[in-house]
Chains A and B, each alone.
Chain A
Amino acid sequence: MLPRLLSNDLPRSRLLAVLLIGIVVALLLTPFAIPGVKALNVAAKIMVFIVLVASFDLLLGYTGIVSFAHTMFFGIGAYGVAIACTRLGSDLGALLIGIGAALAVSLVLALAIGLFSLRVRAIFFAMITLAFASAFQTLASQLSDFTGGEDGINFRPPEWLTPSFSISETPFLGVDLDGRLICYYLLFATTVALFLTLLRIVNSPFGRVLQAIRENEFRAEAIGYRVVVYRTLSSVISALIACLAGVMLAVWLRYNGPDASLSFEIMLDILLIVVIGGMGTLHGAVIGAALFVIAQSYLQELLKLAHEGLSALPVLAALFTPDRWMLWLGVLFVLSVYYFPSGIVGKLRRTG
Chain B
Amino acid sequence: MSTPAKPAVAPAVPTQRDIDWAPLLLVPALMLLALPLVGAPSTWVTLTVAGLAMGMIVFVIASGLTLVFGLMDVLHFGHGVFIALGAFVATSVFAAMGGLAGADALLPNLVAVFAAMAAAMAAATIVGLVFERLLVRPVYGLHLKQILITMGGMIIGEELIKTVWGAQQIPFELPPTLRGAFTFGDAMIEKYRVLAIVIGLIVFALLAWTLNRTKIGLLVRAGVENGEMVEALGYRIRRLFVAVFAAGSALAGLGGVLWGLYQQNVVPQMGAQVNVLIFIVIIIGGLGSTAGALIGALLVGLMANYAGYLAPKVALFSNIALMVAVLLWRPSGVFPVANR
Q: What is A's interface to B at a CB cutoff of 8 Å?
A: 60, 64, 66, 116, 119-121, 123-124, 126-128, 130-132, 134-135, 138-139, 142-143, 264, 268, 271, 275, 318-319, 323-324, 326-327, 329-331, 333-334, 337-338, 341
Most buried by A among B148, B153, B328: B148
Interfacial chain B residues near A127, Cβ < 8 Å = 279-280, 282-283
**10 further contact pairs, Cβ within 8 A, besides A138-B317, A327-B163:** A66-B143, A66-B148, A116-B327, A131-B276, A135-B317, A324-B159, A324-B162, A330-B159, A334-B135, A337-B145
Chain A CB within 8 A of B117 CB: no
Report A75 CB to chain B, min CB distance, Å. 15
Question: Contact: B160 with A327, CB < 8 Å?
Answer: yes
Question: Contact: A268 with B156, CB < 8 Å?
Answer: no
Q: What is B's interface to A at a CB cutoff of 8 Å?
A: 73, 75, 77, 135, 138, 143-145, 147-149, 151-153, 155-156, 158-160, 162-163, 167, 272, 275-276, 279-280, 282-283, 287, 312-317, 319-320, 323-324, 327-328, 331-332
Question: Contact: B316 with A135, CB < 8 Å?
Answer: yes
Question: Contact: A123 with B279, CB < 8 Å?
Answer: no
> 22 A-B Cβ contacts within 8 A?
A66-B144, A66-B147, A120-B283, A127-B280, A130-B276, A131-B320, A131-B323, A135-B276, A135-B319, A135-B320, A138-B316, A142-B312, A142-B314, A268-B151, A323-B162, A324-B162, A327-B160, A330-B153, A330-B159, A331-B152, A334-B156, A337-B149
Majority DSSP secondary structure for residues of B touching A: helix
Question: Contact: A327 with B156, CB < 8 Å?
Answer: yes
Question: Contact: A271 with B148, CB < 8 Å?
Answer: yes
Question: Contact: A333 with B279, CB < 8 Å?
Answer: no
Interfacial chain B residues near A319, Cβ < 8 Å = 163
Report A138 CB to chain B, min CB distance, Å. 5
Interfacial chain B residues near A130, Cβ < 8 Å = 275-276, 279
A205 to B276, CA, bound (A): 37
Interfacial chain A residues near B153, Cβ < 8 Å = 330, 334
Report A18 CB to chain B, min CB distance, Å. 29
CB contact between A120 and one of B152, B162, B320, B332 (< 8 Å): that residue = B332
A68 to B77, CA, bound (A): 12
Chain A residue nearest in CB terms to B282: A127
Chain B residue nearest in CB terms to A124: B283
Question: Contact: A119 with B328, CB < 8 Å?
Answer: yes
Interfacial chain B residues near A128, Cβ < 8 Å = 279, 283, 323
Report A307 CB to chain B, min CB distance, Å. 12
Chain B residue nearest in CB terms to A274: B148
A60 to B151, CA, bound (A): 15
A139 to B314, CA, bound (A): 7
Given contacts A64-B144, A329-B155, contact A134 B160 (CB under 8 A): no
Question: Contact: B159 with A333, CB < 8 Å?
Answer: no
Interfacial chain B residues near A120, Cβ < 8 Å = 283, 327, 331-332
A329 to B145, CA, bound (A): 17
